Amino acid sequence: MRKKNYKRQFNVACLQISPKANFKSSLDEAICHAENAIEAGADMLTLPEYCGGLKTEGYSFSPPFSPEESHPVLKGLKEFARNKKKFILIGSIAISGPDEKILNRSYIIDDYGSIISRYDKIHLFDIKLSERESYLESKTVHGGNKAVISKTSWGCIGHTICYDLRFPNLFRELSKKGAEILFVPAAFTKKTGKAHWHVLNRARAIENGAFVIAPCSIGKIEGGGECYGHSLIINPWGEILADGGTSPGFINVNINLEEVNMTRIRIPSLNNDKPFGF
C-alpha cells in the first residue's frame, strides 16, 4: 500500500547550490545541503535549474547531459528520496533530446523515489543584456510546449523554470487548473536578478493567490555568467517568508496550503478573470 496521509501543512526547503560543471560535483553539493535541510525539518527539498551541472560556451548553455534512464544525478536523487522518505523537486537537469539538442527538464520525485511528474522548459532564455553578456538557450535546448501540474498528497503543484517567470499567462493557467504552489527553480543571472527577481516572484504569488517556491543557484558559472541566488519562499499574500541571500546553503519554512484557499476567497481574481477582445 503506497498511499500515505499528509496534512496540508509541511516544511519545504530551497537548496541554494552553486553551479558546477560536472555531474559528480553537482550531486555531491546537492546531497550535502539536502542532509542539512532534513536535519532542520524539511519534508520536501527543492533544487535550482540545471542542478545537475551547468557551464557556458560563448553565448550558449553547455551543461553536462545524459539520457533520462542513465542520468547519474537523477538516479542519485531518486535513491536519496527513497532512502530519506522525502519529496524532491529537481529544478532541472539536462536530458538528451531531439535534433542533437538537450531538454531542460524538471522532475518531482516522491518519497518512494519514483518520478511523479516531468516538465520541459517552455520559454528559452534568448536575450542580449549588453554587448558583453548575451545568452541563446535555444541554440542547445529543445523547448517544451506543455504546461504541467502535479497532484501530490499535500496539494497541487505547478511547474515552471526560470525564464518562464516573465510569462504570467503560464502561471495564470496553472493556477486556474488548481495549482496551489508554483515552483520557479532558476539559474537567474545576477544582473537581471538584482532588477527583477524579487518583484516578479512576488507578483506571480499575488496575482494567483499561490505559494511561490523559487530555489535559485548562486555564484559564477564556468565559461561565463553568474547566478543571483536569493532563493525565495513566498506566501499567497506576496510576503517573503525566507530569502536565501548570497551564500550556498538552504532555507526552509513551514507552509500551510489552507492559506491559498483563504487568500483566494479574500481576493477571488481567478474567478473574476474575464475574457476580452480588441
Structural domain total, the chain: 1
**Catalytic site residue 216?**
no
Catalytic entry in 14, 20, 29, 49: 49
Sign of CA dihedral 28, 30, 33, 39: negative
In order, the DSSP letters of the chain are -------SEEEEEEEE----SSHHHHHHHHHHHHHHHHHTT-SEEE--TTTT--BEETTEE---EE-GGG-HHHHHHHHHHHHHT-EEEEEEEEEE-STT-EEEEEEEE-TTS-EEEEEE-SS--EEE-SSS-EEEGGGTBPPP----EEE-SS-EEEE--GGGGG-HHHHHHHHHTT-SEEE--B--BHHHIIIIIHHHHHHHHHHHT-EEEE-B-EEEPBTS-EEE---EEE-TTS-EEEE-TTSSEEEEEEEETHHHHHHHHHS-HHHH------
Catalytic entry in 51, 121, 207, 259: 121
**Catalytic site residue 79?**
no
Q: What is the pLDDT of residue 58?
A: 82
Per the domain annotation, does 86 fall within a domain? yes
Per the domain annotation, does 44 fall within a domain? yes
Per the domain annotation, does 69 fall within a domain? yes
**Catalytic site residue 162?**
yes
Cβ-contact 37, 88 below 8 angstroms: no
- pLDDT at 1 > cutoff 50: no
Instruction: Name the pLDDT band for 6 (thresholds 50, 70, 90).
Output: low
Per the domain annotation, does 164 fall within a domain? yes
How far apart (Å, rounded) are the C-alpha atoms in residues 242 and 39? 18
Q: Torsions phi, psi of 259, nearest 5?
A: -65, -30
pLDDT in tens, 103-124: 999 999 999 999 999 999 999 9
Q: What is the pLDDT of residue 153?
A: 87
- Domain that residue 151 falls in: 9-267
Strands 60-61 and 232-234: unpaired
How far apart (Å, rounded) are the C-alpha atoms in residues 13 and 4? 21
Residue matched to cell numbers 550558449: 60
Mean pLDDT, the chain, as a whole number?
95
How far apart (Å, rounded) are the C-alpha atoms in residues 28 and 43? 20
Per the domain annotation, does 228 fall within a domain? yes
- From the CA atom positions of the chain, what is the Rg in Å? 18
Task: Provide the whole-model pTM.
Answer: 0.95
How far apart (Å, rounded) are the C-alpha atoms in residues 196 and 201? 8
Per the domain annotation, does 1 fall within a domain? no
Q: Which amino acid is at 21?
A: A
- pLDDT at 277 > cutoff 60: yes
Q: Which amino acid is at 14?
A: C
Q: Which three cell numbers stand for residue 81?
A: 528520496
Catalytic entry in 51, 162, 216, 227: 162
Per the domain annotation, does 135 fall within a domain? yes
Q: Which three cell numbers stand for residue 11?
A: 516544511
- Please name the residues in contact with 64: beta carbons below 8 A apart, sequence gap of 6 or more: 21, 22, 23, 52, 53, 55, 94
Residue 253: CATH number of its domain: 3.60.110.10
Q: Which three cell numbers stand for residue 61?
A: 548553455
Per the domain annotation, does 126 fall within a domain? yes
- pLDDT at 270 > cutoff 50: yes
pLDDT in tens, 170-201: 999 999 999 999 999 999 999 999 999 999 99
Instruction: Name the pLDDT band for 61 (thresholds 50, 70, 90).
Output: confident
CB atoms within 10 A of CB 7: 11
